[in-house]
Amino acid sequence: MTTPPPAPMPAALRAQLNRHPAQQIPCPFCRAPARAACATATGRRLPNPHPARTDAWNARHTTEETHT
């Protein structure tokens, strides 16, 4: 008897493991709530957050260190 091969990880689960920190805030582009993945207008979840969301997250998490 051999060990069964590992089950393929569902894409949705994999997306949660690789959750981008930008998903901690709502997306200003697609209106996805905080901790939820970005989605298209048709409701399809995107593996990566919208650039506007990462920009918003970066703006929150960067202090005035760039303010020279």
Q: Which of 38, 54, 56, 57 binds Zn ion (CB under 5 A)?
A: 38
DSSP assigned state of 33: P
The type of residue at 13 is L
| Residue count, binding to Zn ion (CB under 5 A) | 7
Q: Is residue 29 within the footprint of Zn ion (CB under 5 A)? A: yes
Stretch binding Zn ion (CB under 5 A), from 3-11, 12-20, 27-35, 59-67: 27-35
Q: Both tokens of residue 42?
A: 């048709």
Distance of CA 37 to the CA centre of its chain: 5
Q: Which of 23, 25, 50, 54 binds Zn ion (CB under 5 A)?
A: 50
Q: Is residue 15 within the footprint of Zn ion (CB under 5 A)? A: no
Side-chain-side CA neighbours of residue 49 (13 Å): 28
